[in-house]
């Protein structure tokens, strides 16, 4: 897992466009052609959908319906994804669960039929309400929200399948939902995991590096065997532990530098962090940790 695949790299390039507003993203297509859509059976009736414009998504095929997790980055990408899902099951899509509010996870909503139930954490709805300005966009704001936990029960080949929507606190954003299938031991975790690079923390959406450590530990506490994230291959607890350790090491090193009186620029220099010409859209993990630790004081 030390070297990300070509597909992962391309997905990350697409992901870099995700902070643009929905309207901007529709007029500024990805610079590189995304990989083709591919549907992978994870376990039972749970599927991961990779490729296309936007983050990885997923679906669960129930007896009479399909539940989708995340919505891709454009209307066209969402429609193509739906077409791939139809190849697996002709059942109608009844529910769409959003892991968080980033554009590459929600801007494809208009590609879905109106009237389906859209579910998200309450803070994700707040972020989306600020970004979605047109009538068409606002028609797809989540109609069902939750604060800490919401359990769904759907008919399936196993009788009844329970799907737990869990919130462990601010991390990547302050609205990150974990979609957990306890019987199958599969969890969809959005952008809580990045492989081969530092994680992104959206301070503008009240995400925190300290919170991310807490949430990663909570993910390890789940009775899960497979973790499906927005921009990586299928992962396990091993990859989560690796990222957790990397963040903890950076945090410990920065704490030592703060005790020595180092400034932000000195800390960045120690980690070889350079601000690109024209500025950076997002602060690096090192900067986020520095801000979190100094503000905490």
Instruction: Give the C-alpha separation, 199 to 269, whole Å.
Output: 19
Whether pLDDT at 1 is above 50: no
Instruction: Tally the residues of the chain.
Output: 297
Q: Give this prediction's pTM.
A: 0.88
pLDDT band, residue 79 (cuts 50/70/90) = very high
10 Å Cβ neighbour count for 60? 27
pLDDT over 90 percentage in the chain:
82
- Sequential DSSP letters for 223-259: S-SEEEESSSSSB-HHHHHHHHHHHHHHHHHHHHHHH
DSSP type of residue 165: E
Residue-wise pLDDT tens digits, 124-139: 999 999 999 999 999 9
Given a cut of 70, whether residue 69 has pLDDT beyond it is: yes
Spatial CA neighbour of 54 closest among 89, 78, 24, 79: 78
pLDDT at 100: 98
Q: Would you call 166 helix, strand, or coil by DSSP?
A: strand
Burial of 249 (0-12, 13-18, 19+ CB in 10 A): exposed
Give pLDDT tens digits for 7-60: 544 444 444 444 444 434 334 444 578 889 999 999 999 999 999 999 999 999
State residue 33's pLDDT score: 82
Q: 177-209 burial, b for 16+ CB within 10 Å, e for fewer?
A: bbbbbeebebbbbbbbbbbbebbbbbbebbbbb
Choose the weakest-confidence range: 101-105, 174-178, 271-275.
Answer: 271-275
**pLDDT for residue 31:** 57
Q: Which domains does the chain have, with CATH numbers?
A: 6-245 (3.60.15.10)
The Cα 123–Cα 167 span in angstroms is: 11
């Amino acid at each position: 897992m030390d070297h990300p695949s070509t597909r992962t790299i391309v997905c990350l390039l697409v992901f870099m466009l995700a902070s643009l507003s929905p309207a901007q993203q529709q007029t500024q297509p990805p610079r590189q052609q995304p990989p083709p859509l591919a549907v992978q059976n994870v376990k039972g009736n749970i599927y991961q959908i990779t490729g296309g414009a936007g983050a990885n998504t997923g679906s669960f095929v129930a007896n009479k319906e399909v539940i989708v997790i995340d919505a891709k980055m454009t209307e066209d990408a969402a429609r193509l994804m739906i077409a791939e899902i139809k190849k697996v099951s002709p059942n109608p899509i009844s529910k769409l669960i959003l892991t968080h509010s980033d554009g590459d996870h929600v801007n494809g909503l208009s590609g879905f039929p109106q009237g389906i139930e859209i579910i998200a954490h309450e803070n994700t709805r707040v972020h989306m309400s600020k970004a979605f300005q047109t009538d068409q966009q606002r028609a797809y704001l989540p109609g069902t929200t939750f604060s800490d936990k919401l359990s769904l029960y759907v008919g399936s080949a196993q009788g009844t399948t329970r799907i737990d929507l869990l919130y462990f606190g601010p991390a990547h954003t302050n609205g990150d939902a974990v979609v957990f299938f306890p019987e199958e031991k599969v969890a969809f975790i959005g952008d809580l995991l990045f492989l081969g690079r530092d994680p992104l923390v959206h301070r503008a959406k009240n995400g925190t590096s300290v919170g991310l450590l807490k949430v990663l530990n909570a993910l390890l506490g789940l009775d899960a065997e497979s973790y499906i994230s927005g921009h990586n291959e299928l992962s396990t607890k091993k990859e989560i532990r690796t990222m957790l350790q990397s963040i903890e090491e950076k945090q410990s090193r920065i704490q030592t530098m703060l005790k020595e009186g180092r400034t932000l620029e000195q800390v960045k220099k120690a980690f070889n962090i350079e601000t690109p010409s024209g500025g950076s859209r997002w602060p690096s993990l090192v900067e986020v940790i520095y801000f979190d630790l100094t503000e905490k004081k």
